[in-house]
Structures are given as C-alpha cells and as structure tokens.
Amino acid sequence: MAVTTRILKVALLAQALLGTVLGVAGSVVHERSTESLQYVPICKDIEDVISDASDVFYPLQSDYTTGIEHWASSSTQSSACSVEPGTAEDVGKILQVIAKNRTPFAVKGGGHSPNRGFSSTDGVHIAMSRFGDVVYNADAGTADVGAGLVWDTVYSALEEYNVNVVGGRVPGVGVAGFTLGGGYSWKTNQFGLTIDTVQGYELALPNGTVTTVTSGDEDLFFGLRGGFNNFGIVTKFTLKTFPQTEVWGGLMVFTGDQIEKISTAASNFHNKVTDPKAAIISEFNTLTGLPGVTLNLFYDGPEPPAGIFDEILDIPHFSKDVSTRSFTSLIAATPSQLTSGLRGAFHTVSVTNYSESLMDVILDQLKSVGSNITSVFASGAFISYDVEPFIPTIFTHGSNSAYPPSREKVLFPLNLYYAWTFPTSDDYFQDAIKQSAQAIEEAAIAEGQDVSTAPLYGNYAIVGTDLERIYGDNLPRLRSIKAQVDPDNIMGLAGGWKF
C-alpha cells in the first residue's frame, strides 16, 4: 500500500511536471475543419443505411470528441463526423457508402498510433468502440475479442477463467492496431507475436461483405497478420488463450546518475537471461533535458527463479513497485497515460544485439538530442529510448505472415518516442527522431550488426518509412492479394501503410 501511494505520488508529480513544463493544453473542443465540411452529406447517407445498433456523431457532441480522440494529440483530426458501427454488417454498409463516394475515411481501434492520418481523417471517422465483447471459449481454448477493445479490458475479462492472451504491455493500447501490425507482448518470448496466436478474423471486406478469415484462407490470413487495414475492417479477433497464474514484476524508476548501470544491466539481461518467462523493457528518457530510466520487469509466474533480475534490483532506485500480483495489476503499474495528450512520434531501429557498445550509442543519443532540444526550445520535451530485448526464438512460434518478412533471422525492436507540446514544433521533432534512429542504425551497422535492410516494426515506424523496410520481400505478394480483395482500392481512402 505504501509503495502504491508512493508510486502514485511520483506519477502525479511527473504529471504535474509534464503539465507545467510542457504546457499541456486542457480539454480541447474539436471544431470541424473546413476541409471536412464537404463530407457531411456522406455522414447523412451513412445515417440512412445503418441499423439501430449504430450511430453517427457530429462536432460538439461528446461521443464525437471521444470517437476521434487519440493517445497522441497530434493524431487527432477533426473529421466530418464520427461513426460508431454496432454490427459487422453495418461496417460493411458504411464501407459501401464510402466506396460509392470515394470518401477519405479512418478506422480507429484504441487510437494509439502516433502517426497522424493512420487512424484519423478529415472525412468519415469510424470508431470501433462498440465492438467491445470478450467471449471465452473454454473448449476451443480461444477468446473472441472485439476490435474496439483495449488490452486492459480483455485481460480483466479473462482473469476469472485463469487464462490470458498474448497482448499489450501497458495500459490503454488498442487490440486492433496492435494485432493487425504484429504485437510484441510480455508473453512473446514464450508464444511469439500476437499475430502468431490469432485463430481467426471477422472481417468486413472493402466491398461490404462480412466474412471470416482463418488459416484455410491462405492469402488473407497471411496478409492480415501484419497488414493493418489494407484488406478491410476487422470487427473481431479470435485469439488463442493460455493458462495464467499470478505474475511477478512491475515498475522501477531510476534517476539519471544510474543510467550507465542500467544500460549495462539491460545489455547483460539480453545476453544472459534465457528463461522465456522473463522479460524487461528499459526506457531511457529525458524530461526537459533531465535523464532518468523507467524499467518494467516481468516474470510469468508468482516468483522468478533466483538471480534473474538481481543486477537490476541491486541498482539504487528512486521508486519501486514490484511484487507478486495479478496480470492486470502488473499492466496497470505503468503510467502510460502520463504523456497522453501531448503531440508525439515513434520511430524504430531493429537490432541484432543490445550490445554494451550499442547501449552506449543509445545513451549518447539520449543525452545529445535531449540537450539539443533544451537549447532549441525554451520549454522542454519528453524523449525516450525503449530498449526491448527478447530471446532469439521469438519468430519461431508462427507461420509466414506479412510481418516479419523473414522468420529466419531474429531482430529486436528499439522504440524511440518523442513527445512535445506545440504543433509548430512537429517538423523539428519528426526530423530529430528520424536522425536519431538513423544514427543508432549506422552505429549498429558499424559494429557489425547486419541491419542495413532489416525489417522495421510497422507499429513503431514513423509515417513516411519506406514500405520495403517493413514488409521486405513480402511486398509483391501483399500487393497482389490486395489487388484481388480490393480492386477499387477502397482501403486506400484510409491512411496507414498502403500496399
């Protein structure tokens, strides 16, 4: 309890600090943009075709505001309307109206893409929030999960059955985008990516027909595992479930004077720990130039075997919330909402080794970019380098899929995350994050890592990344599947990685 209170205090302190330092705006009233006005008649057409299970909302209605909202405020656009379909058939009908008028549109699951336009639009916004059911099928060992859910809700719904799925690691992340892009989970060392656990999709095809896609449908099943919104709108995922006991872990926070020690410990963890139930993420960050580290620890069991986490636990910490707990409590331990509402960008480098020398490069980037930002802007920013080690067998759990383009060679994602306040700084931060990722990739290559053409994870890559870098040799096949399923390129009217 004391620990929880303390963490809460730290979180509130950080939030106050972020709010003050970064000048987070209060609640925003979304006015419709002038470009969006022309699409209002299409919203009316949609109202005419949908059933009572669905609704269309307009600016100044609170459901509109919730509908278009994103984790990163830079991903929120004022659409003509926000449609909340309530049935898969209605999703099909909405797509038919969109197709007929060739209206720009967006599909939003959990709204966690930091890439503007990927799940936002000036046109017709589709919020999937009404697809919120979790149904556990004990006999099949699967769960049907609605495309409007966030992982937290799925985990808590499955908890009473003592089973779980392979999903997100922190609160608030959407099931849909996560699962359509790949899905690096706390359980990935044991069971692979989330796409490796998908048994089926309920999908509204671009022509409006609702269908179910399973492994028997070789092309679409291949394409949907990593191919995002290229093949239609998914309304339901059927995911494999696994037994779930209590877990061990949580969050530790360290001040800047410890970052070299954490860096060494993270590299050692990557190179020495082979227990697939153990995982960490270390997030090296600076807030207005001040460095620090947040470190997530996870063990898929009530107690980790002796020794695994000792090097980390022995480093003097600022705060620690680590215990034996339920899976949902472990997820809730990360305050991922702290920077939500700020503008944001992700980018990524794929590495073959979080070697000590590469960790040094990452720390150098953290410090030099951090101080550069402080010197350029009077107000600060939050920048973060999230080191995500996994064991080398993670790609062996599934069959060929859109992502990763090759399962022969393992890669580990580094996630860069920058957050800032003002739209006028967007270009600066977007350029800075690309430059920093490139510097790290070049350093990895220079130390002998074969990553010059290594696939980048689509859920971490910044908008504008060359499609070849995400899908590699799979691109021709994905394009031909796309041409078959969506000859009129209806899904091209929505943003995202487009085949």
Ligand X SMILES: Cc1cc2nc3c(=O)[nH]c(=O)nc-3n(C[C@H](O)[C@H](O)[C@H](O)COP(=O)(O)OP(=O)(O)OC[C@H]3O[C@@H](n4cnc5c(N)ncnc54)[C@H](O)[C@@H]3O)c2cc1C
Q: What is the smallest separation between the CB atom of 131 and ligand X, expressed in angstroms? A: 7
Considering the rule CB under 6 A, would residue 165 count as an interface residue with ligand X?
no
Phi-psi group of 289: left, alpha or beta (phi > 0 → left; psi -120 to 50 → alpha; rest → beta):
left
Nearer to ligand NAG, 156 or 372 (CB): 372
User: Interface residues for ligand NAG in 156-215 (CB under 6 A)?
Assistant: 205, 207, 209
Among 32, 93, 112, 187, binds ligand X (CB under 6 A): 112
Query: Scanning the structure block, which residue is given the tokens 């000036």?
Result: 122
All residues at 6 or more sequence positions from 359 whose CB lies less than 8 Å from its CB, including other chains: 263, 264, 266, 267, 387
Q: 295 contacts which partner out of ligand X, ligand NAG, none, CB within 5 to 8 A by kind? A: none
Considering the rule CB under 6 A, would residue 234 count as an interface residue with ligand X?
yes
Q: What is the smallest separation between the CB atom of 112 and ligand X, expressed in angstroms? A: 3
All residues at 6 or more sequence positions from 82 whose CB lies less than 8 Å from its CB, including other chains: 56, 57, 58, 63, 64, 67, 68, 125, 126, 127
Stretch binding ligand NAG (CB under 6 A), from 110-118, 132-140, 194-202, 352-360: 352-360
Q: Give the residue from 464, 471, 340, 336 showing the smallest Cα distance to 403.
A: 471
Considering the rule CB under 6 A, would residue 233 count as an interface residue with ligand X?
yes
Q: 205 contacts which partner out of ligand X, ligand NAG, none, CB within 5 to 8 A by kind? A: ligand NAG
Distance separating alpha carbons of residues 218 and 212, to the nearest angstrom: 12
Distance separating alpha carbons of residues 390 and 353, to the nearest angstrom: 10
Considering the rule CB under 6 A, would residue 208 count as an interface residue with ligand X?
no
Q: 317 contacts which partner out of ligand NAG, ligand X, none, CB within 5 to 8 A by kind? A: none
Q: What is the smallest separation between the CB atom of 237 and ligand NAG, expressed in angstroms? A: 20
Helix (H, G, I), strand (E, B), or coil: what is residue 94?
helix
Mode of pairing for the β-strands spanning 142-146 and 134-137: antiparallel
Residue 488 burial class via C-beta count within 10 angstroms: exposed 0-12, middle 13-18, buried 19 and up: exposed
User: Interface residues for ligand NAG in 246-305 (CB under 6 A)?
Assistant: 267, 271
Q: 209 contacts which partner out of ligand X, ligand NAG, none, CB within 5 to 8 A by kind? A: ligand NAG
Stretch binding ligand X (CB under 6 A), from 50-58, 111-119, 208-216, 448-456: 111-119
Neighbours of 255 (CB within 10 A): 14
Distance separating alpha carbons of residues 44 and 42, to the nearest angstrom: 5
Nearer to ligand X, 226 or 443 (CB): 226
Helix, strand, coil percentages in the chain from 3-state DSSP, rounded to 5: 40, 20, 40
Which residues lie near ligand X (CB under 6 A)? 71, 107-113, 118-119, 128, 147, 168-170, 173-174, 176-178, 180-184, 228-229, 233-234, 336, 459, 494, 496
Which residues lie near ligand NAG (CB under 6 A)? 205, 207, 209, 267, 271, 353, 355-356, 368-369, 372, 376, 432, 435, 485
